[in-house]
Structure 1
Amino acid sequence: MSDARETAFVEFERVQKSYDGETLVVKDLNLSIAKGEFLTMLGPSGSGKTTCLMMLAGFETATHGEIRLKGREINNIPPHRRGIGMVFQNYALFPHMTVAENLSFPLEVRKVGKSEREERIKRTLGMVQMQDFGGRRPAQLSGGQQQRIALARALVFEPELVLMDEPLGALDKQLRETLQFEITNLAHELGITTVYVTHDQTEALTMSDRVAVFDDGRIQQLAPPDELYERPDNSFVAQFIGENNTLAGQLTQMGDHRCLVKLDDGATIDAVPVNVSKPGERTLVSIRPERVEIDPELGPDAHTLDAEVLEFIYMGDVFRTRLRVAGRDDFIVKTRNRVGQKRLTPGQHVKIGWLPEDCRALNG
């Protein structure tokens, strides 16, 4: 038995899912999740992430392959016998029950005695800062309070695995950010393995130990948040995670750690080769907006290109400049708002530059 198999708490092995017998919405998924890990499945609608979560929960059945929990195959085990906590976007609280009764329900199902039920309910409500709300009904709570109770209900029976499906999607930005922090801290504090589904990239980057980026039924990249952002494996991940600039060109020279790309407007730049292998290949060169400088002072290795300012937007902490670069009108530069930062005007011509190691040659 391999080390990966021994340490995997949750495991998908060659899992496929089709609803109509023809089209696969999940394609040969292989994924291992460690005990205590907070893993986020991120991707656009229809990418397969929610289907994977529902198969793990037992609400959908895999067409092919095995899903294992603690080394035990669970494909044919019904949801209520998997011992998994679930948190949904719509809270799914029983409206006719009080908060305490909502939390008591999963304990009663598991035949937990009354005194222990009361102790667990009290302790869990304290964890989510709702200890004074046990006698209220869901309709008497705000959206954020209801989501805290939904989280408490998922935790009260002390599961080793909790699944969350877009749990913060219905909340406003400030409350979402507060609960992101609370959920992550609670999961790590309790040592709970968490699988979290979202289409919100900021949520994924701020909450996760690792992120699995889904598209077209496959994981495009599985990595810690900083690696995902700084070193995307392909153009889909680069475009989906954060804001990103791409310039089209052709690979002209290949080295071990650097390659030369001739852009479509004729300029030649260095890049880190990622998804290219031989001269003549088309490529999309990827550069993050915050890695680009206007009128740069980056040293002799930096690339500089001519650019025309199309739009200059004040955003408080940053200035966002849209430029025409190498024939494209959608090149973005973000510069920090600091003392002496000069403002640009549309029509102005400037130089822009970046370091070669911040530029990646991806699939074209």
Structure 2
Amino acid sequence: MPKSDRKNGEKILLDMQAEDAFVQFERVQKSYDGETLVVKDLNLALPKGEFLTMLGPSGSGKTTCLMMLAGFESATHGEIKLKGQPINNIPPHKRGIGMVFQNYALFPHMSVAENLSFPLEVRKMGKSEREGKIKRALDMVQMGDFGGRRPAQLSGGQQQRIALARALVFEPELVLMDEPLGALDKQLRETLQFEITRLAHELGITVVYVTHDQTEALTMSDRVAVFDDGRIQQLAPPDELYEAPQNSFVAQFIGENNTLDGVVSKLGSDSCVVRLDSGEEIDALPVNVSNVGDRTLVSIRPERVEIDPDLGPDAHTLNAEVLEFIYMGDVFRTRLRVAGRDDFIVKTRNRADQVRLKPGQKVKIGWLPHDCRALDI
């Protein structure tokens, strides 16, 4: 997409501005000091039942958006709607939204069952109805036998399951999650990623999930909104986000990525030629460039590159020198010197016939032109 259309990712996203949007942000801005905007003209709509992840580095605005939706922060400008109704002036406890935080936020003096009972008591449910809902919620997170324990008697993973059950116990249509797995170890985090996604889809709830962990975002979400500098840089399903980044920030932030700097020397509607700063010319897909002479950053995923390639006549090849060859179990990771850069990475699947490369070895690398994307610098 030409740079003139996107303005470096600052184009206002009018995605699904429809009457059937379940959650909607309309030109929402947020400033804490009256001068600096931490959220800038956010337009975003979610259908009912979607699992949307807000992904980005610290300070990008993602958590502020979640807190405005929850009601813990107020928008400086714009309107937030739930089921078509404005909620800017509705206090948090009346929005009917479930919340899960990284620090669990369980009441330490209450048992697990009492923690789950609290949001039901606030809603003035009778005892028998509360007991039924508590049992169902605990069973959903595989904690049915833990109702009598206190939070201090549970592991971190168990506490997070209870926090999730408390968010689901009153059967909300919308659940917000702020870095809920950030304090857990890798194996437990991956287990709970699967369970949260499964529950969300089984129950048909809408989830807005905030994280800075790109793996979480890619594995759990229906769509991902990548935030930077208070704006959504790209909003797309995980595979599209990874395979077809629309600007250099998204390409660099999502997954591992190779970049080469150069200047557009030829430009067509579906292809361009980039003269690299090292002098070589390569073909690329013109994603975010407008004119011949534009500086550009060429993006290529490590797994799309082959060493000593046999990709056919359309492949582009460059000379390279091996700097490191690392065994990683399922893949080999090779660091190369390419076009004057020492940080070019190639990932190859671990095969029985894999040739082990040595530092200093000269090789050719290659890729197909459509896997090479010319982006903004």
Same fold flag (TM > 0.5): yes
Query: Hey, what does 1:36 align to over in structure 2?
Result: 49
1:362 aligns with 2:375: yes
Q: In the comparison of the two structures, how many residue pairs are matched?
A: 363
Deviation, structure 1 residue 3: 7.2
1:67 aligns with 2:67: no
1:113 aligns with 2:126: yes
Distance 1:5 1:356 in 2: 37
Render the CA deviation track for 1:214-242: whole Å, top value 9, x for unaligned: 00000000000000000000000000000
Distance 1:318 1:325 in 2: 21
Whether contact under 8 Å (1:322, 1:332) holds in the other structure is yes
Distance 1:323 1:4 in 2: 46
Query: Hey, what does 2:109 align to over in structure 1?
Result: 96
Deviation, structure 1 residue 277: 1.3
Q: Which amino acid aligns with 1:298?
A: L
Distance 2:340 2:35 in 1: 42
For residue 36 of structure 2, the aligned residue among 15, 20, 23 is 23
Segments of structure 2 that go 5 or more residues without pairing to the other structure are 1-14
Deviation, structure 1 residue 266: 1.1
State the SS of the aligned residue for 1:179: helix
1:263 aligns with 2:276: yes
Query: Hey, what does 1:207 align to over in structure 2?
Result: 220
What's the TM-score once normalised by structure 1's chain length? 0.99
Whether contact under 8 Å (1:298, 1:355) holds in the other structure is yes
State the SS of the aligned residue for 2:194: helix
1:235 aligns with 2:235: no
Distance 1:3 1:254 in 2: 32
Distance 1:254 1:235 in 2: 19
For residue 224 of structure 1, the aligned residue among 233, 237, 252 is 237
Distance 2:231 2:259 in 1: 23
Whether contact under 8 Å (1:51, 1:60) holds in the other structure is yes
Deviation, structure 1 residue 4: 3.4
Distance 1:331 1:201 in 2: 21
State the SS of the aligned residue for 2:17: helix
Whether contact under 8 Å (1:5, 1:71) holds in the other structure is no
Distance 2:160 2:61 in 1: 24
Segments of structure 1 that go 5 or more residues without pairing to the other structure are none
1:195 aligns with 2:208: yes
For residue 301 of structure 1, the aligned residue among 301, 314, 317 is 314
Q: Percent identity between the aligned chains? A: 85
Distance 1:5 1:101 in 2: 40
Query: Hey, what does 2:182 align to over in structure 1?
Result: 169
Query: Hey, what does 1:77 align to over in structure 2?
Result: 90
What's the TM-score once normalised by structure 2's chain length? 0.96
Whether contact under 8 Å (2:99, 2:167) holds in the other structure is yes
Query: Hey, what does 1:329 align to over in structure 2?
Result: 342
Deviation, structure 1 residue 5: 2.3
Relative distance call for 1:3 and 1:28 in structure 2 (3 A) is closer
Whether contact under 8 Å (2:51, 2:206) holds in the other structure is yes
For residue 332 of structure 2, the aligned residue among 319, 328, 352 is 319
Whether contact under 8 Å (2:16, 2:46) holds in the other structure is no
- Segments ≥4 residues shifted beyond 2 Å: 2-5
For residue 345 of structure 1, the aligned residue among 332, 351, 358 is 358
For residue 185 of structure 1, the aligned residue among 191, 198, 208 is 198
Relative distance call for 1:157 and 1:168 in structure 2 (3 A) is same
Render the CA deviation track for 1:280-314: whole Å, top value 9, x for unaligned: 00000000000000000000000000001111111
Matches within 5 A, 1:237-252: 237-252=250-265
Query: Hey, what does 1:284 align to over in structure 2?
Result: 297
Distance 1:164 1:186 in 2: 14
Distance 1:42 1:211 in 2: 7
Distance 1:188 1:7 in 2: 19
Distance 1:4 1:284 in 2: 32
Q: Which amino acid aligns with 2:341?
A: R
Distance 2:49 2:19 in 1: 15
Distance 1:39 1:201 in 2: 13
State the SS of the aligned residue for 1:272: strand
For residue 128 of structure 1, the aligned residue among 125, 137, 141 is 141
Distance 1:252 1:3 in 2: 37
